Structure 1
Amino acid sequence: MAPRPRVNCACKCGNYVTTEVEAKHLQKIYYTKRMPVPLIIRRQLSMRSPSPPEPGPPLQYQPERFSLSPVPPDIDVNQVPECEDPASLWARVMATRIQIQLQEEESDRSELSAATGFVSRSDSDASAEPDDPPRGRFNTATYGISPSELLREGRIVRAVVNAAKNLSQSQLDDIEVFDFIVRDKISIRTYHHMQSRFCLTRSHASLPSLKNLRSRILALCGLKPEVYDCCKNSCVCFAGPFADLDACPECNTPRKNAAGAPQKTFSYIPLIPQLRALYCSLQMCKAMRYRHDRPHNNTTIQDLFDSDRYCELLDTYVTVDGEQKPYKFFADWRDIALALSTDGMCPFKRRKNSCWPLILVNLNLPPDERTHLENLICVGVIPGPKSPKNLGSFLWPLVDELLQLASGVTAVDVSTQKLFSLRAYLLSVFGDIPAITKLLEFVGHNGRYPCRFCLMSAVQGVTAGGGTHLYCPLHRNNAPFFDPLNLPLRTHQDSVQKGLEVLGARSNNAQSNLATASGIKGVSALARLPSISIPLSFPIDIMHMIFINLIPQMVDIWTGNFNGMDEGTESYSIDIPLFKIIGEIIENSGSTMPTSHGCRVPNIALPHHGGATAEAWSMFGGYLGPCVLRGRFRKTKYYRHFVRLIKLVHQITSFEIPRADIPLIREGFIKWVQDYEK
């Protein structure tokens, strides 16, 4: 007997069941009940009923009688068609079934019409191969929403739309007070003084205490932080694969103290409620249409959405934990593109303790709005006092939520007043080299293969203190030689495979040797996300590379303050008295420089460059440097070399980059590095 065909159950339980079981599941969901059978019919149908069947109505006509021939007719067996195999028959039937969305009605009973059903289509539309993802068989906007939520769509939408109207006056006062505290960044002492001197305008009630105000706002916003145990020294977070550990795998510090309480905790702010809240604002719904409505330009690069990686994702089906979804990336105009940024910072003046904020950037917003403070999404702050040794362990809650968002979560769009399946994808990760190294589980810039983009091997050099270090020059006295226009690039598959090989090593020495040979010491937690590609999703941070490292380093080289090195046979140094005058000129120029151009640049001739920030170095390189350094070198080739760098930086930081200029920019940087090494 042929096995019964099994199909993917339409009730979204995720199981492959027979059609009979599928019908029972759908019956339970939609609460369809059979009509009661009359007692007289049940007695007639029951074989155990002791009473005889009651007589039926009298016949009004006499049935016609037919005489049956005792001889059976001759039947040709060859003329009888063979029955189709039931398995193939059901496979053909299920291949032509599509899920549709029933039409909505205005009455309250029309909520039942939001449930999904099945309808057959013509055989000509069912010619697609079974292995291909189904196309045109579902509504992308509502795919993944449970039938029970669709049944309650009207009530859910009305609750969200009328949420602001249902707030009491005291709740509105609490929101205004809390918004004032956050926006103006007033201190606790200032707020206590305000409590004793001021009252609310409408109700004339006194200001609530900070403790009560925080608890009320927490209840109103619906955000409940998730608290995870972490190492006392901030090494790892006990989440994901580390959830069952009793001690830190890095420093062996116990997870809990003698009383059984965690020694330190990490608070994670859920991302999904914050993204849902965005579509509860009409203003935000309109602003977040930027990604979908912007025209794509094949001749220039204006935004991340003009990149090859984003265009590749548009034609790629989403895969979550090995399960391929029937929709592609950014198939719906409401899909959100995100970018992650993290770095260590010292929030206090003494700069002894550091913390690592985890900030998400909403790329659906226009470029001139997405980095505003009110539009940034903070999902947590990794506590200090030290930097985390396993940064990926703190990202496990975020990765789990991003996987849910890749599959879709239910949300309300107030612009259309309908339910939709909210999806979000992480496209890029920003940070300096140490931060990206921690995120990628790479060895880093001190390894044999320090670059995250290519496999160029490092060579050994001598430091000012007599030690050695590794660096990657283009000019090498010995092999191997590398063509800067044709470097051996890393790939996502190779990076993950080498990371798995390192993790699968049997001993610590074997892991160390494999990590040294490949430059990879593990697999990043972000590699689980379908939108992430290593290393394409981890671009270079120009702020750290150019404005914090390269330009200050060139100033130190010109003034003889770089690792005690002199100019040797060259003549690129600037006299110290002359450079002090240049520093004073730069500092005094702040009084005549428009603030719209940037911040005031300090005297970079002072120790530690006068505390110049990245913005100050950007102002120096882009505006002041080419002017104050003109004619200050003994040979003009050094000044021209500096100006060439500034021109290249202007090209890559402009609002539009012509695609035809990209090869010229690449060749320009290669030529600049080669001249720099000379």
Structure 2
Amino acid sequence: MSAAGPSLADISLLLVSQIASGMPSNKKIPCEPCTQCNGRLRNPLTVKKHRERREALEQASASAATIGQMLLESQVASTSTASSRLTPEDDSTSSGDTSTASGEEGSSSSSDSTSSGQSVSRESSRRTTSRRTRSPSPAVSPSGEGQLQSSSCEDSDVFRPSKRARLDDDPNSEDIGADNDRLGLDVTPEDGTTSSSEESEDETMESDRRAIVIEERVPFQQCASSDEIDERGSHDGGNDDEVQVAAGQPDDEEDNEEEEEEAARIAAQQREEEVQEQLADEPQVLPAQNPGEQDPTLQDEQEEDPYRSQIQYVLNAQDIINRIRAASLDNDKLPPKVLHRLRNPRRPRTTGDLLTPDERTCLQLYISLSPYPQDAYISALDVIVDNFGMEKPLSLYKVRKLVEDISGVVPVYDDMCVNSCYAFVGQFADLDHCPHCNEPRWNQTALAQTGKKIPRQRQCTIPLGPQCQTLRASEEGAAAMSYRHRKVEELLRDGVGKYDDMWCGEDLLDLTEELQLTDDDITVGFSLDGAQLFQNKKSDTWIGIWVIYEYDPMVRYKRKHVLPAVIIPGPKKPKNLDSFLFRSFYHLSALQRENNGAGIRVYNRAKDQVVNSRIIFITGTADAKALVELDGRVGHHGAHGCRVGCEMKGRHKGSGHYYAAHLRPNNYNVEGCMHGDYDFTQVPTRCSVEKYEDDLKRVVESEDQAAYEENRKETGISKPSIISGLHPKCILSPPKCFGLDIMHLFFLNITEFFASLFRGKLRVEGDDLKSNWRWRKLIGTVWKEHGKLIVAALKHFPDDFERPPRDPTEKMNSGYKAMEWHHWFYNLGPAFFRLFLPADLWEHFCGLVRAVRLLKNRVITPENIQEAQQLINTFVRDFEFKYYGRNPDRLHFCRPSLHTLLHAPSEVVRFGPGAYTDQYLMERSIGELGGDVRQPGTPFANLAQVAVRKCQINSITALYPEFRKEQDKPSRYATDLGDGYMFLPVQDRIAREVDGELGDYLKEEIGYSKIRRFGRLRLPNEQVVRSRFSEDRKLSEQTRISRMVKLLINGETYYGEVQLYFRTRALEPRALVLLFSTPDRDLWERSKKTLWACTKLDPPHGLRIVEVSQIQALVSMQPLPPLPGEPEGRWFPVEKSFLEGTYLPPDIEDEEEI
């Protein structure tokens, strides 16, 4: 050793010798205290050996403390040696090699001992409260004990990982060679450099068995302290984690100590040069883009409610909210490797470096077959191995572990009541019985026989953070995620001319400016709904999803961008939904509070930088029953049951059940119901944030149950929302974040109610008589004839239209879907209902249809909003005159959904078109997840696994888009026409003569009739329009007509039937169509512009050659049933609603050339 004091190399050598003397070479360090191992290892000899190894480790730990003291005492003397390796100012280098360690030694000598001289940034030092996340560089303990804080002996050249070994398919074991790089685990300090010391540390935590085999023996330059080794060995879930450590010293070490020391110093200098080269290539960490990154106002102004409610129902909600407000990733249930990766992102490796050829093949095969049963992968793999050979094929278990490692997505499970009453989290975490039904939490048989506490039922939560970290990790993902920022900048610069996305809404634009959202932030929404997995089996399940609103609406709602959040098993509805959502929102709150409110760190491929990304919660949606639990309001039959919290108060019949009657009943003097009529001339307003908070405070501070019930009735609030537990600077504050769900409102609530009205299914009360209901017409033979009309309409709905309505006389009472209600009521209703409704009621009904058609669109103009508001105000007012008639016996006709209609137009101004936030996406997700359940015996567990694998595959394809299967890859026979148009087979191989009227028209218009015909055209909206040329080839009577189109010619709308497609001799794409006439203007006006009655023109007068770009959409042309005295042979168009999304029909590839 030098006279000036021990160098780090000297200390490393001494530490190694101490470890070597106390622990024989190739012995494994035990991962946990022997008292725990003794309970796990049954072999007495194994227990003894384990204890001996532990004692050796403790001896090495004591030696490390002594060495640390030596280092502390020699700080001043070692300054000159350290300064030659790394300057004290370069406090960001943390590569885990000798240069870093030496730099820390030098920097520690120039800093005050009270501040410890640690080369750790302020942000990194805040995270040292977690034992799993330490300072990225070695430093001297401020207490003076001198222990090395972080440096892994795995980083030294003495460790050379051996070739990856493989385990068998034992589900209790993991792949020995599970590479840390596969997880993307790395420490990227504040300057963006990569800390290999913490990377190697997490290698130890990543696998349950990890063998580090020493192939070369050279002197140590760095070695982990004994405390660090002990900490690695005892991490969560590491019952079997073992690290092989060899002494690393030859037998003649004492004779060659000086030579070894010199060689080590030379190696350290070489590694320092390598680190400097690495630093130039590593992504740099950007500071938080928001100005207030370190602003203390980012912290919650109020960490917990100042007043604890005296009402247990409210108190339960408060306790959960307070825990969410205090959330931290350190206290979340994330595995250590997931937490490490979440806090230390890195640039993803290429798949060539990440995977062997066999692993890549197996992974690609697994992703491609993910929608199919697991036997599909096993069978396909056997075929590949038998016919093409594979050196190391991955079993199903191993490929699933590989998927988990690469994606970083790991589910979190929480115990729950077997009757779905409560989840055992938060204040309920220590209970052994359900607080509601008193059912035991644990399997009593297993508890009695083995003493083990095995939960009877568990819910599954899929953390959002790891999924968010992958979204911008590829060039494709980063480009797609930039939409929101570009869209908002455009709107703030140019103003809102039309509402074509949710970001056009005033509240979201205000939120953008208030929070100064950047292109690094991520905006999310949460959607929840119940589902029944099996029709004839009690299998109620609640499913929650996260929606990422950074994408363009054309791709935002595709399945790859929808992230399952929580699976709540049945068999019953949750009694305390907050407890089941606790884990999801606790995790989100922790993500929002990371880095002092600056957000989590993610790698942005477009910037090639690690950036801070805030996760902003902007909306929560659910059906009416679940929304009550989510937003904390009373049910829709409360005195103030409005879903948006307006001042409108209902009326009741002498009980606590209120109805949304806007007009005061005649001669009605019931207390609480004598307020005046609602003013239909005003624009409805919603509850402001300030009023909501005042009302909520009033409810929370209720002194007793009677005061609580009175305050609840007056305010319409029953408890604080779980959303209020999130970071106040990272949310759209309640109640603004709760909007309208137009799917349930327009296509379920309203339609079911009017079906009951027209069929006379509502209950009769008091002196009222059904014979007085002049709208009760769908009964008897009229109802049966109506059903036949609906069945006949089926073949006129194109394949692209989802769920055309089935026979309502047979299916309406047994699961009519929302899209079926939509087609039946809004699309076919104006034409079919006029056959039985009185003229004034039909016109009244058409006013509702017109308003809904305007509001369900994805593009809405201010003029549309104004027109819709006038129509709805008139419709609701006239409904109460025509149907309810101020009759107290008909108060139950005044449904809350009718009042909610009044708010629908103004919600577009506030939050954009409702099509972008409705529950159609949730319903589709339920169908996709439920459709993959293939284990009826354990459906809930199977559903959870399906959701987890979906998230894992989504994350992998976000990281590596090359694994994504192209669902919309066109046929090799397709002809790309540009601008999103494409000719598809069926088609002629060569040009052929066109006969008859069509040929004559072609000769007259273009001079020739010998053309190459094409049968189908793909539009930019992904609809596929066939033609008579292709459909005449199909002989099936069940063929659904898909050749009717909407055209825009010289700015005017026309409808037509496509005869064929062709290209001119100048290769210009054209369509030959047979047009329909202009509409019956009188019927068009009387129907409030909902019924376009027209006739098909005869050729050649009706033929027209049009450019394919003039075709706007595929439509359905339905025969119009005539009233007495009206002409026959008329048609009316039905346009597709784009609420259900766009997709390619399954037969796009099925047809060939002819």
- TM-score surpassing 0.5? yes
| One-letter identity of the residue aligned with 1:455 | E
1:338-349 alignment runs, 5 A limit: 338-349=524-535
**Quick one: structure 1 residues 460 and 33, their matched pair in 2 at CA, closer, same or farther if it must change by over 3 Å?**
closer
Q: Name the structure 2 match of 1:483.
A: 679
Question: Residue 355 of structure 1 contacts residue 381 of structure 1 at CA under 8 Å; is this kept in 2?
Answer: yes
Q: Is the 8 A contact 2:416 2:458 kept in 1?
A: yes
Q: Separation in 2 of the partners of 1:541 and 1:657?
A: 17
Q: Structure 2 matches for 1:357-376, cutoff 5 A?
A: 357-376=543-562
Contact 2:423 2:579 in 1 (8 A): yes
The amino acid across from 1:611 in the alignment is: G
2:827: which partner in 1?
A: 623
2:843 aligned partner: 640
1:299–1:660 CA contact under 8 A, matched in 2: no
User: For residue 654 of structure 1, what is the aligned residue in structure 2?
Assistant: 857
Match 1:301 to one of 471, 480, 499: 499
User: 1:393–1:534: structure 2 CA closer, same or farther, 3 Å change rule?
Assistant: same
Deviations 1:56-87 (A, max 9, x none): xxxxxxxxxxxxxxxxxxxxxxxxxxxxxxxx
Q: Matched residue of 1:605: which SS? A: helix
State the one-letter code of the partner of 1:393: S
Tell me which residue corresponds to 2:1054. none
CA distance, structure 1, for counterparts of residue 608 and residue 585 of structure 2: 29
**Which of 436, 443, 450 is equivalent to 1:250?**
436
Equivalent in the alignment of 1:581: 785
Alignment of 1:4-15 (within 5 A): none
How many residue pairs align between the two structures? 545
Which amino acid letter does the alignment assign opposite residue 429 of structure 1?
G
SS of residue matched to 2:360: helix
Separation in 2 of the partners of 1:111 and 1:209? 37
Shift, 1:354, TM fit: 0.9
SS of the residue corresponding to residue 564 of structure 2 reads strand
Partner of 1:271: 464
Q: Is the 8 A contact 2:848 2:875 kept in 1?
A: yes
Q: Answer with 635-644 or 575-584: which moved more.
A: 575-584
3-state SS of 1:611 partner: coil
Structure 2 residue corresponding to 1:594, chosen from 795, 798, 821? 798
Question: What's the offset of the Cα at 1:382?
Answer: 1.0
Distance 2:576 2:193 in 1: 51
* Equivalent in the alignment of 1:108: 278
Opposite residue 366 of structure 1, the aligned amino acid is D
Q: 1:509 to 1:109 in 2, by over 3 A?
A: same
Q: Which amino acid aligns with 1:173?
A: T
| Contact 1:279–1:413 under 8 Å retained in 2 | yes
Confirm or deny: 8 A CA contact 1:157 1:412 kept in the other structure. yes
Where does residue 967 of structure 2 map in the other structure? none
Within 2, Cα distance between the matches of 1:643 and 1:654?
17
Instruction: Give the RMSD, CA atoms, in angstroms.
Output: 3.8
- Residue in structure 2 matching 1:28, options 119, 126, 141: 119
Relative to structure 1, the CA distance from residue 112 to residue 160 in structure 2 (aligned partners, 3 Å threshold; closer, same or farther) is closer
Sort the Cα spacing of 1:632 and 1:223 in 2 relative to 1 into closer, same or farther, 3 A: same
Greater alpha carbon shift after TM alignment, 207-216 vs 605-614: 207-216
- State the distance in 2 between where 1:452 and 1:654 align: 22
Show the counterpart of 1:557.
Answer: 757
- SS of aligned partner of 1:251: coil
By how many angstroms is 1:440 displaced? 1.5
CA distance in 1, matches of 2:113, 2:630: 44
SS state at 2:530 partner: coil
Cα pair distance change 1:33/1:593, threshold 3 Å: closer
How far did 1:102 drift? Answer: 11
Partner of 1:524: 721
Q: Are the aligned partners of 2:283 and 2:609 in contact in 1 as well (CA < 8 Å)?
A: no
Closer/same/farther in 2, CA of residues 206 and 576 from structure 1, 3 Å limit: farther
Quick check: 2:415–2:441 contact (8 Å CA) kept in 1?
Answer: yes
Q: Displacement, 1:504? A: 4.8
Closer/same/farther in 2, CA of residues 336 and 221 from structure 1, 3 Å limit: same
The answer to whether 1:291 aligns with 2:484 is yes
SS in 1 for 2:658: strand
Seen in structure 2, the aligned counterparts of structure 1 residues 376 and 583 have a Cα distance that, compared at 3 Å, is same
* 1:176-232 residue CA offsets vs partner (Å, 9 max, x unmatched): 2321332xx323565666576664875447975544443332233222212222222
CA-CA distance at 1:502 after TM superposition: 4.0
Structure 2 matches for 1:40-119, cutoff 5 A?
A: 107-108=277-278, 110=280
Whether the aligned pair in 2 keeps the contact of 1:411 and 1:419 (CA below 8 Å) is: yes
Kindly report which structure 2 residues correspond to 1:541-556, keeping only aligned pairs within 5 A, or say none.
Answer: 541-556=741-756
Q: Structure 1 519/247 Cα, relative in aligned 2: closer, same or farther at 3 Å?
A: farther
Looking at structure 1, the residues matched to 278 and 533 of structure 2 have their Cα atoms a distance apart, in angstroms, of 54
**Which one-letter code corresponds to 1:479 in the other structure?**
M
- Pair 1:456-2:648 in alignment: yes
Task: Name the counterpart of 2:662.
Answer: 474
Unaligned segments of structure 2, at least 5 residues: 1-90, 93-110, 122-136, 141-189, 195-274, 288-294, 299-339, 448-452, 666-672, 882-1154
Does 2:360 align with 1:172?
A: yes
1:398 aligns with one of 564, 574, 584: 584
Residues 633 and 717 of structure 2 are in contact (CA less than 8 Å); yes or no, is this contact kept in structure 1?
yes
CA distance in 2, matches of 1:519, 1:364: 33
Cα distance, 1:315 vs structure 2: 2.3
Question: Among 383, 405, 417, which residue is 2:569 paired with?
Answer: 383
Could you give the per-residue CA deviations for residues 595-633 of structure 1, whole angstroms, max 9, x where no partner exists?
A: 223322101122535632101111223322212223432
Letter in 1 for 2:674: A
Q: Which amino acid aligns with 2:615?
A: A
Structure 2 SS opposite 1:428:
strand
Note the C-alpha offset of 1:22. Answer: 12
2:45 is aligned to none
TM-score by length of 1: 0.72
Distance 1:115 1:261, change over 3 A: closer
Q: 1:672 — aligned with what?
A: 875
- CA gap of 1:261–1:505, structure 2 versus 1, over 3 A, is farther
What secondary structure, in the 3-state scheme, does the structure 2 residue paired with 1:223 have? coil
Q: Which amino acid aligns with 2:361?
A: D
Structure 1 match to 2:609: 418
Taking structure 1 as reference, are residues 675 and 396 closer, same or farther at Cα in structure 2, changes over 3 Å only? Answer: same
SS at structure 2 position matched to 1:345: strand
Change (3 A) 1:211 1:586: same
Alignment equivalent of 1:226, drawn from 396, 412, 415: 412
Shift of 1:663: 3.8
CA shift, 1:161, in A, is: 3.9
Cα distance change of structure 1 residues 398 and 299 upon mapping to structure 2, 3 Å threshold: same
**Residues 257 and 504 of structure 1: is their aligned pair in 2 closer, same or farther, counting only changes over 3 Å?**
farther
- SS of the equivalent of 1:549 reads helix
> Cα deviations across residues 543-587 of structure 1 (Å, max 9, x unaligned)?
111111211221221121233586554522325312321221212
Q: Is the 8 A contact 1:223 1:270 kept in 2?
A: yes
In the other structure, the counterpart of 2:948 is: none
SS of 1:236's partner is: coil
Determine what percentage of the aligned residue pairs are the same residue: 23
Q: Which residue of 2 aligns with 1:137?
A: none
Other-structure match for 1:69 = none
Counterpart AA for 1:271: L
Q: Distance in 1 between matches of 2:701 and 2:191?
A: 48
Structure-2 change in CA distance of 1:273 and 1:443 (3 Å):
same
Cα distance in 1 between the residues matched to 2:403 and 2:284: 34
Q: Could you say if the C-alpha distance between residues 378 and 102 of structure 1 is closer, same or farther in structure 2, counting changes exceeding 3 Å? A: closer
Determine the C-alpha separation between the residues in 1 that align with 2:113 and 2:847. Answer: 69
